[in-house]
Structure 1
């Protein structure tokens, strides 16, 4: 038996999936990450719970569509002639409810994601940045072929498009003149695949310099992005966050006024909560300790560090366009630290294949602090460092 979740590294996930395909693993315990798009030879799927915890909402029933997706993992073509799904019901009443809602139920209606302003902004900018068209008419023809137009009709689609184009023009992502053309900023935002509002938020936030620019302020600016998800954390009460803000007030780019900007302040509080976690991560606090202190699951942490590293990189690119070299370099370094979970002095070591945060710290503590230090050392000397070993030491030397 083995497990599979979003917190595993890509190579670890591939190894587990390969072993299961080869029938070497008989049981695989997985989160919903395995439900979509992975073709595995499962004869039987067991669903122990049809509810899931949602941030701010508590336990919620999963959708019928997701239930059907789970069931579809059993009896995959090319592997088995048939499949079985078992759902655990803890009472007769629950059995009836599950049977009526899920087994006999029809999947929910599918809605176009372009109905969301956020997704539409990203796609409209992408079309203009790729130079697919330079006119409003061309945009209308392009989006007339989408599921959005099919569901809501051309009239509503055109109205939504006009609103998005006006936003992009007024905020410097698109310019008028010889048609609709993405600006340098617009092209880069599209290449980074972030919401233009995220770019706008980062640019406006970074235009306000804090008294003490440090890593906490950089991480909080990153965590303001809508692309960074909010995850459940235990033992992080609002009063503790407010006290933390007061103690570190000068480190933040901007703190909204709770009286005049209540909505912005609530978003700020949420971003600070996430920043506290990610600050601990780059300070090399272990995953086990983070779970004990904050109740953060490894899978949630894996998603956060990937998203935060991506947004920090995007912020560095936006600062390059703004001509702010100091923040460009600061965000670039922070992106690397968020990806690896290390202090800045370990980045040269973690750039080596097979050297993560633990091995890098062990090497550093034993005097191997630079690439040059590693060049001077022998395989035998490196192999004596805890967690390194002869094979890893040889791999390190081969990379130098």
Structure 2
């Protein structure tokens, strides 16, 4: 585990307390013993913030910013782009460095080759593709990878799409250790036809990190319990949440890109985005689109023979109340335009689960 920098602690501690409402704020560091207490004072409370170093010369980040400059019309020529870069913090820190110039040239060359920008008479302008990528605020190289894989794929595959998204610069990927390699290689052999990206020579680490992350996300969308995912991949609930949040945005971006380049996949991508958001299989999509219905309630309804909003409308109010609880059932039925009969008792057909029925299918 890598300790956070002192500046991050100062940033978080500085947010303690509500301006104009609290006389002061409190930030708490927890130490296991006296020795750790002394270390926390030394490395966080009494420590000065680390120096800030510009990452502007990072080619991935700079490509995104240059596309934004061109798409917004803020800078549309080599001269205007160079003048903008001359005013950046990076140039202030690295006076006389030629690195930013060469990275800028490579970024523009990539954007031109990818047809995200075009040059005409010394002026750059964003194409429809480039404008969309800029609006989506995703890494242009990641966008190009998504488009390339979708266009090359013969058939749509949830796993192929996930693998592609987890291989982009915008996606955090899980660490792979030696004990992971066995099941990762086995999965690769068993699902090779579903995957959109082959294993390249010398790319094993990045490939398997992306594959492991895609497998976790696939499990989430297949309704694998959170506790099982945590144990299987050695992660915490917060890790799952963060990865799902990240891939949800990339799925939204993929939906938009599919509409432009691979319309035959657009519906599948859009549906899978809803699956990922709620952590459900496709069969539950009609139900989770309803307010107040998440993955657990949708599965309970499905197991009790209610698979669509139309069937939910026609169901006895007592049966729905027995499945969802009276309060939630009333809210859902109101949304569907039905008046919930709060005086009706749950039907005997469904009833309250007993200890003897615990673990039976549908409970």
**Which band: TM-score by shorter chain?**
0.7 to 0.9
Is 1:192 equivalent to 2:192 in the alignment?
Answer: no
**Structure 1 position 338 matched with structure 2 position 276:** yes
Counterpart residue number, 1:217: 160
Partner of 2:51: 109
Residue in 1 aligned with 2:343? none
Length, aligned pairs only: 333
Indicate the residue corresponding to 2:119 in structure 1: 176
Higher mean C-alpha deviation, range 338-347 or range 83-92: 83-92
Larger radius of gyration, structure 1 or 2? 2
Q: Compared with structure 1, are the counterparts of its residues 84 and 230 closer, same or farther at alpha carbon in structure 2 (3 Å cutoff)?
A: closer
Contact conserved, 2:111 with 2:117, CA < 8 A, in 1? yes
Which of 89, 93, 104 is the equivalent residue of 1:151?
93
Distance 2:48 2:254 in 1: 43
Aligned to 1:27: none
CA distance, structure 1, for counterparts of residue 184 and residue 82 of structure 2: 46
CA deviations 1:231-277 (Å, max 9, x no partner) are 357996112201210121111123124xxx212x4322111111111
Shift of 1:298: 0.7
Taking the aligned partners of 1:204 and 1:132, their CA distance within structure 2 comes to 29
C-alpha spacing 1:383/1:151, structure 2 compared with 1 (3 Å): same
Aligned to 1:244, the other structure's residue is in SS state helix
Which residue is 2:334 aligned to?
398
Structure 1 residue runs of 4 or more that deviate by more than 6 Å after TM superposition:
none
**How many Å apart are 1:310 and its aligned residue?**
1.5
Q: C-alpha distance in 2, partners of 1:91/1:199?
A: 50
Q: 1:219 deviation in Å?
A: 1.9
Aligned pairs (5 A) from 1:36-115: 59-74=1-16, 77-78=19-20, 79-81=22-24, 83=26, 85-86=28-29, 88=31, 90-92=33-35, 94=36, 97-115=39-57
2: distance between equivalents of 1:204 and 1:227? 16
In structure 2, do the counterparts of structure 1 residues 254 and 103 end up closer, same or farther at CA, with 3 Å as the change threshold?
closer
Q: Structure 2 vs 1, CA of residues 86 and 221 (structure 1 numbering), >3 Å: closer, same or farther?
A: closer
Structure-2 change in CA distance of 1:130 and 1:248 (3 Å): same
Q: 1:84 to 1:360 in 2, by over 3 A?
A: closer
Deviation at 1:154, TM superposition (A): 7.4
Q: Of 260, 265, 282, which aligns to 1:321?
A: 260
TM-score, normalising length from structure 1?
0.76
Q: Do 1:74 and 1:85's aligned partners in 2 also have CA atoms closer than 8 Å?
A: no
Q: Which moved more, 1:340-349 or 1:97-106?
A: 97-106
Higher relative contact order (CA 8 A, sep 6+): 1
1:248 aligns with 2:191: yes
**Any stretches of 5+ residues in structure 2 without a counterpart?**
337-363
Query: Displacement of 1:357 after TM fit?
Result: 0.4
Distance in 2, matches of 1:365 and 1:95, equals 53
Please report the RMSD computed on the Cα atoms of aligned residues, expressed in angstroms.
Answer: 2.5
Once residues 158 and 332 of structure 1 are traced to their aligned partners in structure 2, the CA distance between those partners, rounded to angstroms, is 40
User: Unaligned stretches of 5+ in structure 1?
Assistant: 1-58
The residue that corresponds to 2:231 in the other structure is: 292
Match of 1:202 in 2: 146
Aligned counterparts, 1:15-34, within 5 A: none
1:55 is aligned to: none
8 Å CA contact 1:232–1:296 kept in 2: the answer is no
